[in-house]
Amino acid sequence: MKDFVIYTALRLGLFLLTWGAVTGAWLLITDRAALGLTFLIAFVLSGIGSYFVLSGPRERLARHVEERAGRATAAFEERRAREDADDQS
Cα(89)–Cα(84) distance, integer angstroms: 9
Look at the pTM and tell me if it is higher than 0.85. no
What average pLDDT does the structure give for the chain? 92
Q: pLDDT at position 41, please?
A: 97
Spans of all domains in the chain: 2-88
Angle between helices 35-53 and 55-88 (to 10 degrees): 70
pLDDT in tens, 4-19: 999 999 999 999 999 9
